[in-house]
Amino acid sequence: MLLIDPTNMAKDAIVTERLTRRAARFAVGASSLASFSARGCARARAAVVGHDAARRELTLDTGACVRYGALCVATGARPRRAVPESVDALEVRDVESVDALARRVTRANATTVVLVGNGAIALEIVDALCGVGVASTRAMEACELVWVMKHDALGDAMFDADAADFFGRILRARRRMKAARRATEDWTIYPNVVAGDEDDEDGRDAKRRMLGSSAGPDWTSRFRARCRDGGGEATATAATHRMKLTIIKNATIADAHKDGARNVITLSNGETLFADVVVSAAGVEPRCDWLDARDAPRSSIDGGILVDECMRTVGPYADSIYAVGDACSMEARSRSSDAPWFQMRLWSHAAQTGAFAAKVHAGVCDADAFGFNFELFTHVTQFFGLKVVLLGAYNAQKLDSEPAEDVTTYQRERVDEDNPSASTYVRVLLLRGKMKGAVLIGDTDLEETFENLIMDGVDLSRFGPALLDPEFDVEDFFD
């Protein structure tokens, strides 16, 4: 086995805690390519610049040619750019870009940071800079983070409006808790707007710098550490600071250009922003341009490499080319109504697809095992200091064709203003009485119970809203 990578490091996805049979917390560790030798894996530090599928041959940027019996494409994804190329925009994807962001936001002349996006990365940046804050040798209270989103709710790219509202209140509570002695309120929301010369150390230009391996789900820990002395190593004397926060909803970037050292951004609502730092956090797109689409057909939806039930490409070379992780598109499984599973470009799914492809190639699994390995969507993460568990069709995914009267949702929440980390939110979605998905925020201890209810397909109609009553133990009815 030969591992080809242009960097000297590779990432290991490690299960740190298994919450249920199918849901687990992941951490990501960095390993040098040399460490893979102990696993029986040869290595080549290079980038692929050419591919001949018929000859089963790769051309590397070192000039070497590699013949293969089977090729597994695990090239991940690149950030989707949400701002014009005419401005300097930072993107969080690898450890180098995390360090670059820390350097830029802690510089003395950076007073306004504009963040564009509304997904997981955006939520984490907001919490790091404006919620829990960062330790920095530079006072940042006079700085402002302007969060521009095209949606009407925080985190709309991942959550429904109710969960987004809950997170908004949690963020407010965290800011009040961290700044109880502040005399002025520095939280501003515009809710009803209708949309209509530096070196390359910041790594802004993907053409000049090869993207490294993904920063991993706990990238904010590294970010906070790098902020302590402007992007270098941590110092023990740095105090914690937080930026002001302004949120502009229902707006996109209409135009942007440079004016000296600052970026001038015009929004779709007509407002003009002047930014020292622009951060693009609008998701990712598969990184597989080097592979001819005739050899490995792409999804028309997301541009990923289409794969079958064995993680093999669906093109003429399915017998020799596999694709996994962010680079692949499991379009057929995501469309299927047979199971509450769909693809989302996450570390957990990258580990899941990679492991399954390895088992198929080793002859341990085949297409018959596909359904058992991809039967329920699960994701465990953390936002604003709270554990988040997403199960099944948690946001009504794949239920668009169902009659509205057949879909029922119940929710309960508790916001602890004095101790936001003790807050909880639970929302379940039922289709004709059977649970199809759930959102669990905080320490609810319900993930295993709800996973079993989704998989068992039990009719829960008789319980109604009591299903979420803390004093009601639904497990007693199914022992």
Domains and CATH numbers, the chain: 46-78+285-373 (3.50.50.60), 81-282 (3.50.50.60), 378-477 (3.30.390.30)
Q: What is the pLDDT along the chain (479 residues), one digit of tens a residue?
A: 999 988 877 777 777 789 999 999 887 777 787 788 888 889 899 999 999 999 999 999 999 999 999 999 999 999 888 888 888 899 887 777 888 888 888 876 789 999 999 999 999 999 989 888 777 766 676 789 999 999 999 998 789 999 999 999 999 998 887 554 443 444 455 444 333 333 344 444 443 344 555 666 778 888 888 887 555 544 555 677 888 999 999 999 999 999 988 999 999 999 999 999 999 998 899 999 999 999 999 999 999 999 999 999 999 999 999 999 999 999 999 999 888 999 999 888 998 999 999 999 999 999 999 999 999 999 999 999 999 999 999 999 999 999 999 999 999 999 999 999 999 999 999 999 999 999 999 999 999 999 999 999 999 999 999 999 988 887 776 65
* β-pairing verdict for 65-67 and 262-267: unpaired
The pLDDT of residue 202 is: 44
pLDDT of residue 30: 73
Can you give the pTM of this predicted structure?
Answer: 0.88
Query: What is the predicted pLDDT for the residue at 366?
Result: 94
Q: How far apart are CA 178 and CA 172, in angstroms?
A: 10
Sign (positive or negative) of CA dihedral 206, 212, 217, 219: negative
Q: Report the candidate in 303, 298, 346 with the shortest Cα–Cα distance to residue 325.
A: 346
Short-list 345, 283, 12, 20, CA closest to 151: 283
Dihedral over alpha carbons 132, 133, 134, 139 (to 10 degrees): -160
Per residue in 433-450, pLDDT tens?
Answer: 999 999 999 999 999 999
How far apart CA 94 and CA 395 sit, in angstroms, is 29
Taking the C-alpha atoms of residue 209 and residue 10, their distance in angstroms, rounded to an integer, is 17
